[in-house]
Structure 1
Amino acid sequence: MTPRFGYGKIAPRIGRRAGVPIAPAGADALAVCSWEAGAPDVTEETISGGFEMRPGSRALIAGCFAHQDPLVFPTRAECEARLEHTCTAWRRWLEERTCEGPWAQAVERSALALKLLVFAPSGAVAAAATSSLPETLGGERNFDYRFSWIRDSAFALDAFLALGCSPEARAYFWWLMHATQLTHPRLRVLYRLDGGARAPEWTLPLAGYRGSAPARVGNAAVGQLQLDTYGELLQTAWLYATATGHLDADVARRLAGLADFVCRTWRRKDAGIWEVRSQPRHFTQSKMMCWVALDRAVRLAGQGLIPHRHAERWRSEMQALRDFVETRCFSERQNSYVRFPGSVELDASLLLGLLHGYADPDQPRLRGTVEAVRRELGHGPFVRRYTGEDGLSGTEGAFLACSFWLVECLARCGHVDEAAGLLDQLVALANDVGLYSEEIEPDTGEFLGNMPQGLSHLALISAACALHQQDRR
């Protein structure tokens, strides 16, 4: 290993302390402790070594890190005890989950991935654990996903509730309310895991994964207008209120304020759910989710959970949104909703119109959209996000969450056998520990993009639960 700090800017001078290799760098320090793992080779820049394992043998290597604290070398007994405690805690947590049905094991692995992405100090759920893993090898579509996206919020809370993760659901919801309070009534596309709203994007002087530059820190999408986020947040609040039966008074007022903001803002163009870096447009899915936002606000007001004084305006704007989508965003020739008015492009995010209740599964236009997405964007079990330009060069892989959304849409439309077959194919694509990346190369099956990708696992959980429920009817 060649330790570097500050995203590669700081190269520590490696040495030894009490025989242990250490890499100090200002307020930070790294040590590599090992037992029965051979003798480490240490130079001024590297720590390396090799050893042979045989059946029944046991070796242990521990990377010990300190930030503004003394660098403490643990004993082997301490490391073994921590490892055992960690394994026991994770097994106990998994035993408490409610995973049923033929895909229970895949759901369990996805639950573990979701739990791993939780930032314990705040309750936030990171979109992924990595930055700048490319969506195409050698391409520029390399982004930092170590933030929490509003886009993922409804799926995250729904998954926590379905899995019996009440503490995680409460922590996540209150983190979400805290973070969005700081920017009210405007929602940021994403927030830092500590709830902060700043995430300026900058490029690192690194070659990138397998030569895929640029390597980025931060995400410029934070400053975009994405109207779909208001639907996701109000849907999240609806799920939480339905599960708990109440909302805090201050939260209730802010949710009503968000609905008012949607009424004032939905006619604007935006960057859409996929955060395109081309010119803003009137993305159909964004308008659908604005309708969902106002629908959930009306429902919450009807139950006395948020102030209702502007409910009539919410209903009026819901109808205006419905008229916009139905008169301008549907193609008779394709029998499908399109990516934006006047286009012939398709977008797999339109599947969320069905999943989030813009219309019922028996609505012919939504059913036609499901078929069009499968026909035009499908490639075997894979689904690409959209057709058309997005302001970036090159191509990308198939987006795994979209494939799981298609499974759930097929199940809700009554095509249970087709949905089950597709889910079987997708579950078989997981790696050896049940993890999924953001995307996949359809021709080779190679994972692309950041990993593990929370949205991929959230979509798997949602699809498996929906299909299991349909199967039991």
Structure 2
Amino acid sequence: MPLRDYAVIGDGRTVALIAADGSVDWLGLPDLDAPTVFAGVLDASRGGRFQLEPEEPYQVTRRYLPGTNVLETTFRTERGTARVTDALSLDDDLALTPVRELQRQLDGVSGTVPMRWSVRPRYGYGSRTPRMEWRRGVPVAIDGADALAVCGWDVGPVECRDGEVAGRFDLREGTDALIALPFAHQEPLVLPARSECEARMEHTCQAWRRWAGSREYTGPWREAVSRSALALKLLVFAQSGAVAAAGTCSLPEFIPGERNWDYRFSWIRDSAFALDAFLRLGCPAEAHAYFWWLMHASQLTHPRLRVLYRLDGGTPARERVLPLAGYRGSAPVRTGNAAAEQVQLDTYGELLHTGWLYAGATGRLDTDVARRLAELADFVCAEWQRPDSGIWEVRSTPVHFTQSKMMCWVALDRAIDLARRRLIPDRHTPRWRAARLEIHRFIENQCFSERGACYVRSAGSEDLDAAVLLGLLYGYDGAPSRLRSTVDAIDRTLRDGPYVARYSGEDGVRGSEGAFVACSFWLAESLARTGRVERAATLMDDLVALANDVGLYSEEIDPADGAFLGNLPQALSHLALISAATAMDAGLSGAAR
């Protein structure tokens, strides 16, 4: 299926991708970053999937039940209409329990619809076919300490062979059916009663509605912001508070191509956007949990920062290639991410800005955190002159990326302000001021093109980079005329309709890519912050219309045909939407976020 035709459901620990034809084509268990049980999106023959659809031609409409991450798919055939409601179930709230359970409830809306279904689990990214056994009349797929049951009610005779559980039945008007997949990892497998499943589905809807109803944005893009908040919540790993960059791995940025990365980690790059979004939307619990996870994870490597961390705060595994065909032949299929070993100096600005935001919201910082933030500022003073791999994690020789230097400036600027407010130790403030001035001089002298009238991608180049818009959004102290002309240059050169490319020039990886969704929203916000409010609002409207039918965004979009590219749902895409929408609605004062 086209990537645009996928929706996502989740429970705060893992996510599943469901195609418009009713097939569950991605599900990692027990957690989001665990090996998959279903990975059909990466290999239709080997990956495993859970198919459920009418046996005759049909048309499909989908939606999320209002205020939830519960998916409703309606199949219309010539003989009748069937409705499927999908969820990873929760109890009364979003708290954690040992239960992992995928539920698919079916309702006969009109006429009679012949339905077919099959569950084909393949553990370890499709590498292992499970051993099948029957427990109390229920087929169970077993792999070591993992067990997945296929519980069905009113779904016809069940067949089990060759690692697959399947059946067919007629769904008539006024009748219903249910298939539930409870999963156990190193725990006893509990086979639920139908009434228990139905109660959990109701609790799941209520829990999501309570959470969504507490969000505070009421501006012109309310529906898009609400859906983005719900998508972001799916990527918050409830066991730690970390925010995953995406729910999937190795979905391609170009078809067929090798830009296939694992994004099931938490990037420092996303930290300031994430904390800002939580604070703006009225999510103090998420903001607090994420900040403290960030402080815990970064402590392990202090004062150096990793580009990304595992969702439990640990060190990511080495990047490796899986023996899967890849989405539409886009190989290699990778897990792990080699970018974890890169030097990206922008992360120091993002982390210090995150601390600055948190301190502004709470009025205080823990003594140990305050000390560590001051030590990060000292580290920036010593390291800012190094070349690095930049925010886009280029796999070529490090250079002096402009956005990295701007974020080093931001790091010291935030440290100076925190010290002024006595929130972090101020014994090194003179050194921070001197280094901030040196960085400013370097950027203004080495990273601005007089010919192009814009800040460029790296020192001495003439290439453009949409990431320098973050300098404006984070409050880098460039001349207003230079910032405005840079926005104009990016608008003129990297933009194609509503689509904005990340940069011009090479990056050390073969193949092309689509337009980067977050960059488009950064441009909309930057236009507004430089006084072009009407142009910004028009672009914002165009970008909101680029979401798929259920309001989700991937990492990139192909400008030629609007096809989704890259992993999804993509946290940074939704974070950039929230940032642009809330900033415009807040009056666009032009101050740092």
User: TM-score surpassing 0.5?
Assistant: yes
TM-score for the superposition, normalised by structure 1: 0.97
1:5 is matched with which residue? 123
2:448 is matched with which residue? 330
Structure 2: which amino acid aligns with 1:456? S
What residue ranges of structure 1 are gaps of 5+ in the alignment? none
Kindly report the root-mean-square deviation, in angstroms, between the aligned alpha carbons of the 2 structures. 1.4
Alignment partners' CA distance in 2, 1:309 and 1:53: 73
Alpha-carbon displacement from aligned partner over 1:122-174 (angstroms, at most 9, x marks no partner): 11111111011111121100111100000000000000000000011000000
Of 553, 558, 582, which residue of structure 2 is paired with 1:436? 553
- Change over 3 Å in CA distance of 1:55–1:357 after alignment to 2: farther
Deviation at 1:450, TM superposition (A): 0.5
Compare 58-67 and 72-81 and name the one that shifted more: 58-67
1:261 is matched with which residue? 379
1:344 is matched with which residue? 462
Alpha-carbon displacement from aligned partner over 1:13-69 (angstroms, at most 9, x marks no partner): 334333322111111111111222233332122223334444443222111111111
Contact 2:529 2:588 in 1 (8 A): no
2:540 is matched with which residue? 423
Structure 2: which amino acid aligns with 1:440? I
1:205 is matched with which residue? 323
Deviation at 1:218, TM superposition (A): 0.7
1:277 is matched with which residue? 395
Alignment partners' CA distance in 2, 1:175 and 1:143: 24
Alignment partners' CA distance in 1, 2:212 and 2:360: 25
Contact 1:131 1:450 in 2 (8 A): yes
Write the mapping of 1:369-380 to structure 2, written as runs, cut at 5 A: 369-380=486-497
2:338 is matched with which residue? 220
Q: Percent identity?
A: 67
1:70 is matched with which residue? 188
2:567 is matched with which residue? 450
Of 442, 461, 466, which residue of structure 1 is paired with 2:578? 461
2:530 is matched with which residue? 413
1:92 is matched with which residue? 210
Secondary structure at 1:295 match in 2: helix
Deviation at 1:472, TM superposition (A): 10
Structure 2: which amino acid aligns with 1:409? S
Secondary structure at 1:229 match in 2: helix
Structure 1: which amino acid aligns with 2:163? E
Compare 245-254 and 430-439 and name the one that shifted more: 430-439
- Change over 3 Å in CA distance of 1:16–1:426 after alignment to 2: same
Alpha-carbon displacement from aligned partner over 1:372-394 (angstroms, at most 9, x marks no partner): 11111101001010111111100
Alignment partners' CA distance in 1, 2:434 and 2:176: 69
Contact 2:316 2:337 in 1 (8 A): no
1:153 is matched with which residue? 271
Alpha-carbon displacement from aligned partner over 1:321-355 (angstroms, at most 9, x marks no partner): 01110001111111111111121111000100100
Secondary structure at 1:171 match in 2: helix
Structure 1: which amino acid aligns with 2:499? F
Secondary structure at 1:237 match in 2: helix
Of 370, 390, 394, which residue of structure 2 is paired with 1:252? 370
1:46 is matched with which residue? 164
Alignment partners' CA distance in 1, 2:156 and 2:452: 65
Write the mapping of 1:349-368 to structure 2, written as runs, cut at 5 A: 349-359=467-477, 363-368=480-485
Which has the larger share of helix? Answer: 1
Alignment partners' CA distance in 2, 1:433 and 1:295: 40
Secondary structure at 2:152 match in 1: strand
Deviation at 1:471, TM superposition (A): 7.5
Alignment partners' CA distance in 2, 1:56 and 1:372: 60
What residue ranges of structure 2 are gaps of 5+ in the alignment? 1-118
Alignment partners' CA distance in 2, 1:372 and 1:391: 24
TM-score for the superposition, normalised by structure 2: 0.78
Deviation at 1:197, TM superposition (A): 2.3
Deviation at 1:78, TM superposition (A): 0.6
1:119 is matched with which residue? 237
- Change over 3 Å in CA distance of 1:82–1:267 after alignment to 2: same
Q: Does 1:138 find its partner at 2:245?
A: no
Alignment partners' CA distance in 1, 2:131 and 2:162: 5
Q: How many aligned residue pairs are there?
A: 472
Structure 2: which amino acid aligns with 1:266? W
Secondary structure at 1:22 match in 2: strand
Compare 60-69 and 401-410 and name the one that shifted more: 60-69
Contact 1:436 1:456 in 2 (8 A): yes
Which has the larger share of strand? Answer: 2
1:17 is matched with which residue? 135
Q: Does 1:384 find its partner at 2:515?
A: no
Contact 1:201 1:216 in 2 (8 A): yes
- The 4+ residue runs of structure 1 with deviation greater than 4 A are none
- Change over 3 Å in CA distance of 1:393–1:51 after alignment to 2: farther
Structure 1: which amino acid aligns with 2:236? V
Secondary structure at 2:120 match in 1: coil
Contact 1:256 1:297 in 2 (8 A): yes
Structure 1: which amino acid aligns with 2:572? L
